[in-house]
């Protein structure tokens, strides 16, 4: 599912970053790898792309693996509080007006092939996630396969397009940053309130350049990449951006000649990968940071059925699970011995989006038809049937931007119209709107995860309700639904969960801004764009809430879609491991993988 990316693919904000460094360095780890130790974790979706900064690869299933194999300037703990990792690098504001931030990689930090991490890697990260070098007005949609979500062979070779740009926040750094050794200086065009959350090192610059430019030597490859960015060499950048977009999409262990796709700079490296079964990570011998893992080998098994994950835990086949919670899962876990169960509410919310453009049938081009369809969504029935058995206090969520209980939530529910217009199913009202629109039996093909039992049940409830009003709801569901999100012509509506990745106030920008990296339904409203731009630079918390209240209302005026519920969360782990302590933000259970301690005879 596409639910992990900077602040963009996130739930509503509950706090804002200030223009000062408020994070503190985490204490130095004294741990070391326990030779021969291993654990297995179950996850509900297979890994399929190492570049989780693209629209195709932006999924929690991918981000989990990227997190465990990548170093970064900061990360969230489970409180959640932002922690700096100064063993990877440091950053400081050298000017507040204009905003200038300097990042420096720490001495000794290197990629797993021994190549130093330096300013070339950071310059590539800026180019790829700012979109500044991109060819103006290029639309990749017409070169995207509606069956797979990936770019087709007809993709042009003479355009520059990094699929990781608008809405990241780095588009506010429009001038090529200055670099010097291991330091890069970002000069923002305007104050950007979430500057601390938007920048890090992604893919290795030397590998990208080696693959794109055919240069074997790592340093020569980096130098060529830097020169291409600094000189805006469109021919070289076209190849560099194409490699950055697509080469790291792999769903099994790369071949020997593609082994450089596995070069990373974090605590773990990918050591084995079998399609649709599992991916194995092994402690990185070249990792020099403070977050040294204690478990030598971590295998993530892909188990899409939550009850099957519970059974695997019971059988000792896996040690940690965090499945989508259902009543059956909760009941089954109570029967297990030697298992610790943690429950709560996650920073993930279910929502249904309607395609505003480039949809399968064009049904929702008419706002009256959008409104009619939203009147049929049985949100309360979904919550009562599927969520309340796990959380009796569960309620329908009525905001696109605010988490229930957060400042601003009650105000937005009172004013955005979601609860008022769509609080109850209105079949007669929906049918009347279809008659007003002059359409008969409009088709709505819905994309969802067919390998997820809860989503299968949701689809059945939505289909039955909408068909009563005169819609023809058809099944566009897929096991590979995550890569299809945002693909032109693939579906008319979709429901899935957005996972919060930070507490940034600008999180919603990439989702609702015209052309935003997480704007998967091609929504566009100039008023919303202007408000998001204002939000980028607003440091007054009260005004931040006012802006978000207005955006929330405009989204409902446009019949954008509906939110449904916050996810109930459950994590269970065996007595073979300790230190598992899930956080609410992505990567949830994996945020402190280096603190997990192996227990049991096979780890002694």
**Cis bond before residue 304 (omega within 30° of 0):** no
Q: What is the 3-state secondary structure (H, E, C) of 511-547?
A: HHCCCCCCCCCCCCCHHHHHHHHHHHHCCCHHHHHHH
The structure's pTM equals 0.87
Task: Convert the pLDDT of each residue in 189-204 to its tens digit.
Answer: 999 999 999 999 999 9
**Predicted pLDDT of residue 600:** 65
Q: Which residue has the higher pLDDT, 520 or 31?
A: 520
pLDDT classification of 20: cutoffs 50, 70, 90: very low
Residue with tokens 């400081």: 92
CB-based burial label for 248 (10 Å; 0-12, 13-18, 19+): buried
Task: Convert the pLDDT of each residue in 441-497 to its tens digit.
Answer: 999 999 999 989 899 999 999 999 999 999 999 999 999 898 899 999 999 999 999
Task: Convert the pLDDT of each residue in 267-286 to its tens digit.
Answer: 999 999 999 999 999 999 99
**Predicted pLDDT of residue 604:** 32
Between the alpha carbon of residue 401 and those of residues 5, 99, 514, 578, the distances in Å are 16, 27, 17, 35
Residue-range domain boundaries for the chain = 1-11+70-248+342-574
Closest CA to 547 of 557, 556, 536, 558: 536
**Predicted pLDDT of residue 166:** 61
Query: For the chain, what is the mean pLDDT?
Result: 91
Question: Architecture of domain 1-11+70-248+342-574 in CATH?
Answer: Roll (3.10)
Q: Is 257 helix (H, G, I), strand (E, B) or coil?
A: helix
d(CA 177, CA 194): 18
d(CA 499, CA 349): 7
**Predicted pLDDT of residue 458:** 97
Name the CA dihedral angle for 410, 411, 415, 419, rounded to a multiple of 10 degrees: -10
pLDDT classification of 24: cutoffs 50, 70, 90: very low
464 token code pair: 């039955």
166 token code pair: 């608008």
pLDDT classification of 168: cutoffs 50, 70, 90: confident
| Distance between first and last Cα of the chain | 37
Closest CA to 11 of 500, 532, 565, 551: 500
Stated length of the chain? 604
Asked if 486 and 148 touch (Cβ cutoff 8 Å), the reply is no
d(CA 380, CA 419): 11
């Amino acid at each position: 599912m596409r639910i992990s990316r900077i602040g963009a693919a996130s739930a509503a904000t509950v706090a804002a970053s200030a223009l000062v460094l408020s994070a503190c360095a985490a204490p130095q780890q004294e741990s070391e790898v326990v030779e021969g130790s291993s654990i297995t974790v179950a996850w509900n979706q297979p890994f399929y792309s190492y570049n989780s900064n693209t629209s195709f690869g932006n999924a929690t299933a991918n981000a989990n693996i990227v997190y465990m194999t990548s170093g970064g300037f900061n990360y969230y703990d489970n409180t959640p509080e932002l922690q700096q990792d100064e063993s990877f690098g440091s950053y400081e504001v050298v000017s507040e007006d204009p905003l200038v931030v300097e990042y420096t990689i720490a001495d000794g930090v290197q990629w797993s092939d021994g190549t130093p991490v330096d300013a070339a890697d950071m310059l590539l990260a800026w180019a790829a996630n700012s979109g500044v070098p991109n060819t103006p007005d290029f639309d990749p949609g017409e070169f995207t396969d509606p069956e797979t979500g990936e770019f087709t062979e007809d993709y042009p070779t003479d355009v520059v397009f990094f699929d990781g740009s608008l809405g990241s926040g780095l588009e506010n750094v429009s001038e090529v940053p200055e670099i010097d050794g291991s330091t890069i200086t970002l000069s923002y065009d305007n104050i950007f309130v979430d500057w601390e959350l938007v920048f890090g090192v992604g893919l290795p610059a030397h590998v990208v350049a080696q693959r794109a430019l055919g240069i074997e030597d790592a340093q020569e490859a980096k130098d060529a990449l830097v020169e291409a960015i600094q000189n805006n060499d469109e021919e070289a950048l076209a190849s560099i951006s194409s490699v950055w977009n697509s080469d790291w999409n792999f769903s099994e262990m790369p071949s020997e000649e593609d082994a450089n796709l596995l070069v990373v700079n974090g605590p773990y490296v990918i050591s084995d990968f079998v399609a649709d079964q599992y991916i194995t990570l092994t402690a990185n011998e070249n990792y020099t940071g403070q977050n040294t893992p204690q478990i030598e080998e971590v295998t993530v098994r892909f188990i899409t059925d939550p009850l099957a994950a519970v059974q695997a835990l019971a059988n000792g086949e896996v040690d940690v699970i965090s499945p989508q919670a259902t009543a059956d899962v909760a009941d089954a876990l109570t029967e297990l011995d030697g298992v610790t169960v943690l429950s709560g509410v996650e920073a993930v919310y279910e929502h249904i989006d309607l395609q505003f453009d480039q949809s399968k049938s064009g049904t929702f081009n008419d706002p009256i038809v959008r409104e009619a369809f939203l009147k049929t969504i049985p949100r309360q029935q979904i919550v009562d049937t599927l969520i309340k058995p796990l959380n009796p206090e569960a309620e329908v969520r009525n905001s696109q931007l605010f988490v229930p209980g957060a400042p601003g939530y009650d105000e937005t529910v009172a004013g955005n119209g979601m609860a008022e217009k769509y609080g109850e199913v209105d079949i007669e009202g929906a049918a009347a709107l279809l008659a007003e629109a002059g359409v008969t039996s409009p088709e709505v093909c819905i994309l969802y995860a067919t390998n997820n039992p809860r989503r299968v049940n949701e689809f059945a409830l939505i289909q039955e309700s909408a068909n009563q009003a005169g819609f023809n709801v058809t099944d566009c569901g897929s096991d590979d639904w995550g890569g299809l999100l945002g693909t032109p012509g693939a579906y008319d509506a979709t429901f899935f969960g957005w996972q919060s990745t930070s507490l940034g106030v600008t999180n919603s920008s990439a989702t609702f801004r015209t052309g935003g990296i997480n704007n998967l339904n091609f929504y566009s409203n100039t008023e919303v764009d202007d408000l998001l731009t204002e939000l980028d630079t607003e440091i007054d918390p009260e005004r931040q809430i006012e802006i978000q209240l207005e955006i929330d209302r405009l989204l409902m005026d446009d019949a954008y879609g509906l939110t449904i519920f916050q996810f109930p969360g459950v994590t269970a782990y065996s007595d073979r491991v300790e230190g598992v302590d899930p956080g609410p933000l992505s990567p949830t259970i994996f945020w402190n993988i280096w603190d997990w301690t192996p227990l049991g005879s096979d780890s002694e």
